[in-house]
Structure 1
Amino acid sequence: MEPLDRLVTQELSMKIRPVWDEPREDNEAEEDASQALAVFITREELESGAWTMAAGTEVPAAIVGAVRELAARGRFSGRLGETEALPTLGLMPGYQALLLCGLGEAARAEGTDAWRDAGVYAARAALGQGLERLAAPLPRAGRAAVRELVYALAEGLWLGCYRMPSFAASRGTRPPALKEVALLCGRATADERAGLQRSLEAAYAMALATHYARDLTNLPGNYLVPETLAREAQTLAARYGLECTVLDEHGIREQGMGGLAAVGGGSANPPRMIAIRYRGTEEENADVIGLVGKGITFDTGGISLKKPEGMEEMISDMGGAAVLLGLIHVLGRLRPQVHAVIVIPAAENMPSGSAFKPGDVISVMNGQTVEILNTDAEGRVVLADGVLYAKALGATRLIDVATLTGAVLVSFADVATGAVSNDEPFLQELLSYARQAGEKVWPFPNYPEYHDMLKSRVADIKNAASRDRWAGSITAGLFIGFFAGDAPWVHLDTGGTAWLWNERGTEPQGGTGAMVRTLGHYLCGSPAAEGDI
């Protein structure tokens, strides 16, 4: 089995380099050569002709005419997601092509979402054209907003370069990749340069975390089992000087983690409980954010066996764990002033003679009991031990992220992540960071009637409602909330968003890394804002 560092992104190969207007040495000219100039254009700029000012350089009349002809033929309208490459035919020295990138309506282009999305589409278009070097002018905005737009554009460019890992024998002969984007920044003060550089560093950390989470989610189940996931967590923690503890199957039982032990008991690959501690401030009494991620490295459903069609997607059932390990890159690089503990219960859910069964009653870490009605509702069972362990390690508020239910697809398809919480202000705070990050999250209600659906006649709680097709995502989340107790808690169900069967919009096929950026923003504040980090 190959080491994971060869299969999972450790650094991004594409660089974004700011270029400032200043005297330059002759030998630097060749380094600045770009194959294409990317110009980001709103629909209004295209119609008025003002896009030539947005190019950051003089655009020859012949090329302006060619763009007008494209618009007249309906080939390019400035709509977000549209790209079109025009050869410069030697009319723009230093550039072989002009890459037109739509920003959509001008009002929308004032926010970060349009620039992030346009960056994704621009990178994909450059890859499609076989371009290795690209230049792009600085986004147009006032000085207060330009850092956030640069952050969004850079993040989008990096995210757009993502390619799913290949296990083919010929994977060594990959097509050309985008190697560099020169960001044409004009003149700036030393403080402005430093601010833009911090924006680029923050965007890099968030994009690296997302690439990493996508790669980890895409690993086949025979490459990633609980033990290899634990070793990867240890390696990643050591890279950034963080404390990592791993409990094996014996330690899990000694700690009374009967939920994790039961779910992992049917597999030849025993379970692991992973904990990583991050201390970003000297304050001893600071809140400790407990982040708990579902790490089911493959889910057959256990004795309650899933249907075979589509079961291969269950390599993604550790998508929550992938998100949290990706966040180690954010914490390690940006060093936000927070305390956090990351907990990942990892197991394979397999059917065998030693597997747990419907009708079993098991005890979790705090001694409470769970009646098992469905062994395919295993994620919430391991997360019960996960949130209890996070609380034992000092967590004062909790966020769990998990590919928890298929029912969330009924509510939101694969478009939005579902959320359940016991603390409305905490939930609203997290939703505000999701909007900043450009990720879609929508809350479910938390009514007493839903709690009643989980009452058991023989245990403290049952792991599925009797009519488990009713309010399935809500009751699954509230099962976890039962063990969160009085601690402020938010559950994020990425059962529809962590994995896509086909590329959609700016999201790739396969693992998406959904919720990396939301949680990264929550931990760091707005990464591009002055003074947040």
Structure 2
Amino acid sequence: MKTELNFSDAAAIATELLVAFAVDHSTSKDKDAKPELALLTTESALTTAAQDVLTSGEFKGSANETLLLHSPSGLQAKRLLVVGLGKSSKVTVNDLRKAAGVAVRFSKPRAIRELAIVIPNSELLPLGPGGRSVVEGALLADFDPDTYRSDRKDQSIDSLSVIAPQKADKAALETAFAEGVILGESQNFTRSLVNEPGNVLTPTVLGERAAEMAKEVGLKCEVYSTEKLHELKMGAFWAVSQGSVQPPALIVLTYEPEGAPSEPVLGLIGKGITFDTGGISIKPSEGMEKMKYDMGGAGAMIGAMRAIALLKPKVKVISVCCSAENMPSGSAYKPGDVVTAMSGKTIEVMNTDAEGRMVLADGLHYAQQLGVTHLIDAATLTGACVVALGMINAGVFSNNEEAYSHFVEAAKISGDRFWRLPEEDDYRDQIKSQIADIMNTGGSRWGGATTAAMFLKEFVGETPWIHLDIAGVAWLEEQKPWMAKGPSGTPVRTLVEWVRSYSS
């Protein structure tokens, strides 16, 4: 999709589709009350073109509701699409991001290949974040997962023009717009990785794609395999890897901008299981095909590093992604095995399907050996987190309030949704082992997301650390009005904003 920022009179734009946003200013709680609709624009021509239908009651202005007008009077556009944002008292930048996505998803099946979206000009939504969120939402909505369909019809949008007020602060808006393009494209890069089938995206190929991206944007990339795991004594990572004919990949991406302080050094650690059968503790066959997305944490870290390299915050960042296949075979690790992690801690394997925490254990420790002072990991780690939070919020755990406060502010900007869960020491009792230091599961179904986090906590020490369990949000089970079914790319934007919050 070709994108441009245009400081013009929207009424004079000749385009296949012009998009504007409407809010409901009414304060009545009566669901049958007539809405008080208004377009978020100061251009009278747009308001006049839509006035009759806005006052007719036909269109309610509900969030993501659409209204299409053909040959709108007084406008050069062939069509005017009005997208609702809901009640003005509750509207957020994230609502706008979704609404922009709705406009693109509306256009694609209707053979509309060019559109112009008017940034809301209102006190309700600041112009800079508004412009950024519009282009983010549009880019994310343009992604479709039907890569391998032989009858695939390319419905991609050819060009998007984002229309800003002529009197806007051009420099500030251009910066915000450019950020939105980078973030949207980087999140889509993650989605393209997560969407690949396991027979295509092996650990080796994931390493190759990370290296290709790094070369394009100026990151340092090192990709290691079996020999390096043995050299570093990564017994936990290797245990998961040993059951597959596909060798593991230890992917290290480094961003070190000129002028960055020596501290902090931020570590982005990703679980990269390119296919997860569960190993000897094999999963049920139903739904196993989705286990190609078990590298969603690593995919998010790689996409975030792409955005970081392009946005250039003044802070050093190292990403460590631990990629493997978890397969059952004669050489696979088994329940009851005891392995030694890179840190020297011994682990009794209770369930080979608890493999993500095994590879992360060595990844977290290795990142600290590389000089990382603050850690954040992301993993499609537990079904227990999905049971607790569903597919709306990801779980977040942290051992450090300052690092967590940075994360909360980052999530406010990104629009991603998280819910903090406990990592209290009392839960550690559930992972105590009789014959080793710890077990790799909590021994029961209770508190599974937290016992997994407690396992990871064993490998971070006092280092400020945040753990994201994204099992419920990395893959959309159903299509949304603003995004296709399939990989979501969560939490790329939040990771980037967390990093930027530490920039000098």
Change (3 A) 1:302 1:34: same
Question: Where do 1:78-157 residues align within 5 Å?
Answer: 78-88=61-71, 91-109=73-91, 111-141=92-122, 145-157=126-138
**What one-letter code is carried by the residue in structure 2 that aligns with 1:77?**
K
Aligned to 2:166: 187
Aligned to 1:20: 8
After TM superposition, the score normalised by the length of structure 1 is: 0.88
Question: Where do 1:459-470 residues align within 5 Å?
Answer: 459-467=436-444, 469-470=445-446
Tell me how far 1:55 sits from its aligned partner. 6.9
Aligned to 2:55: 68
Tell me how far 1:441 sits from its aligned partner. 0.5
**What one-letter code is carried by the residue in structure 1 that aligns with 2:159?**
E
Where 2:90 maps in the other structure, the secondary structure is helix
Question: Could you tell me how far apart the structure 1 residues matched to 2:372 and 2:51 are?
Answer: 59
Tell me how far 1:154 sits from its aligned partner. 2.0
**What one-letter code is carried by the residue in structure 1 that aligns with 2:500?**
C
**What one-letter code is carried by the residue in structure 2 that aligns with 1:420?**
F
CA contact (8 A) 2:7 2:166 kept: no
Change (3 A) 1:49 1:258: closer
Where 1:155 maps in the other structure, the secondary structure is helix
Structure 1 unaligned segments of length 5 or more: list them.
1-12, 23-28, 527-531
Question: Could you tell me how far apart the structure 2 residues matched to 1:256 and 1:50 are?
Answer: 63
Pair 1:477 & 2:449 matched? no
CA contact (8 A) 2:256 2:317 kept: yes
**What one-letter code is carried by the residue in structure 1 that aligns with 2:307?**
V
Change (3 A) 1:160 1:144: closer
**What one-letter code is carried by the residue in structure 2 that aligns with 1:310?**
G
Where 2:89 maps in the other structure, the secondary structure is helix
Residue 253 of structure 2, aligned match among 258, 262, 276: 276
Matched-pair identity in % = 34
Question: Could you tell me how far apart the structure 2 residues matched to 1:323 and 1:248 are?
Answer: 21
Change (3 A) 1:162 1:463: same
Aligned residues: 496
CA contact (8 A) 2:274 2:323 kept: yes
CA contact (8 A) 1:290 1:396 kept: yes
CA contact (8 A) 1:380 1:480 kept: yes
Question: Could you tell me how far apart the structure 2 residues matched to 1:487 and 1:443 are?
Answer: 19
CA contact (8 A) 2:241 2:326 kept: yes
Tell me how far 1:403 sits from its aligned partner. 0.2
Question: Could you tell me how far apart the structure 1 residues matched to 2:77 and 2:119 are?
Answer: 17
CA contact (8 A) 2:68 2:81 kept: yes
Tell me how far 1:47 sits from its aligned partner. 4.3
Pair 1:513 & 2:489 matched? yes
Pair 1:411 & 2:388 matched? yes
Tell me how far 1:157 sits from its aligned partner. 1.8
Aligned to 1:452: 429
CA contact (8 A) 1:434 1:440 kept: yes
Tell me how far 1:59 sits from its aligned partner. 4.6
CA contact (8 A) 1:150 1:200 kept: yes
1:215-262 alpha-carbon deviations (Å, 9 max, x no partner): 111100001001001111111111122211111111111110111111
CA contact (8 A) 2:105 2:482 kept: no
Question: Could you tell me how far apart the structure 1 residues matched to 2:148 and 2:305 are?
Answer: 26
Where 1:484 maps in the other structure, the secondary structure is coil
Pair 1:351 & 2:334 matched? no
Computed over aligned residues only, the root mean square deviation of the Cα atoms, in angstroms, reads 2.2
Aligned to 1:168: 149
**What one-letter code is carried by the residue in structure 2 that aligns with 1:508?**
A
Change (3 A) 1:60 1:395: closer
Question: Could you tell me how far apart the structure 2 residues matched to 1:97 and 1:201 are?
Answer: 27
Residue 77 of structure 1, aligned match among 48, 56, 60: 60
Residue 337 of structure 2, aligned match among 343, 360, 368: 360
**What one-letter code is carried by the residue in structure 2 that aligns with 1:134?**
L
Residue 208 of structure 2, aligned match among 227, 231, 234: 231
Aligned to 1:26: none
Aligned to 1:196: 173
Question: Could you tell me how far apart the structure 2 residues matched to 1:21 and 1:66 are?
Answer: 22
Change (3 A) 1:504 1:137: closer
Segment drifting more, 501-510 vs 228-237: 501-510
Question: Could you tell me how far apart the structure 1 residues matched to 2:128 and 2:394 are?
Answer: 28
Tell me how far 1:272 sits from its aligned partner. 1.3
Question: Where do 1:381-420 residues align within 5 Å?
Answer: 381-420=358-397
Question: Could you tell me how far apart the structure 2 residues matched to 1:231 and 1:225 are?
Answer: 10
Question: Where do 1:187-336 residues align within 5 Å?
Answer: 187-188=166-167, 192-336=169-313
**What one-letter code is carried by the residue in structure 1 that aligns with 2:160?**
V
Question: Could you tell me how far apart the structure 1 residues matched to 2:101 and 2:161 are?
Answer: 16
Aligned to 2:410: 433
1:366-403 alpha-carbon deviations (Å, 9 max, x no partner): 22211100000000000001001101111011001000
Aligned to 2:470: 494
Where 1:323 maps in the other structure, the secondary structure is helix
**What one-letter code is carried by the residue in structure 2 that aligns with 1:376?**
D
Where 1:86 maps in the other structure, the secondary structure is strand
CA contact (8 A) 2:5 2:164 kept: no
Where 2:328 maps in the other structure, the secondary structure is coil
After TM superposition, the score normalised by the length of structure 2 is: 0.93
Aligned to 2:30: none
1:48-87 alpha-carbon deviations (Å, 9 max, x no partner): 4643x72735159685324434x24xxx200111012121
Question: Could you tell me how far apart the structure 2 residues matched to 1:96 and 1:21 are?
Answer: 16
Question: Could you tell me how far apart the structure 1 residues matched to 2:124 and 2:19 are?
Answer: 21
**What one-letter code is carried by the residue in structure 1 that aligns with 2:4?**
I
Aligned to 1:7: none
CA contact (8 A) 1:34 1:94 kept: yes
**What one-letter code is carried by the residue in structure 1 that aligns with 2:8?**
W
Where 1:84 maps in the other structure, the secondary structure is strand
Question: Could you tell me how far apart the structure 2 residues matched to 1:413 and 1:259 are?
Answer: 29
Question: Could you tell me how far apart the structure 1 residues matched to 2:117 and 2:43 are?
Answer: 8
Where 1:453 maps in the other structure, the secondary structure is helix
CA contact (8 A) 2:24 2:87 kept: yes
Residue 35 of structure 1, aligned match among 16, 27, 35: 16
CA contact (8 A) 1:16 1:154 kept: no
CA contact (8 A) 1:304 1:374 kept: yes
Segment drifting more, 152-161 vs 362-371: 152-161
Where 2:191 maps in the other structure, the secondary structure is helix
CA contact (8 A) 1:56 1:184 kept: no
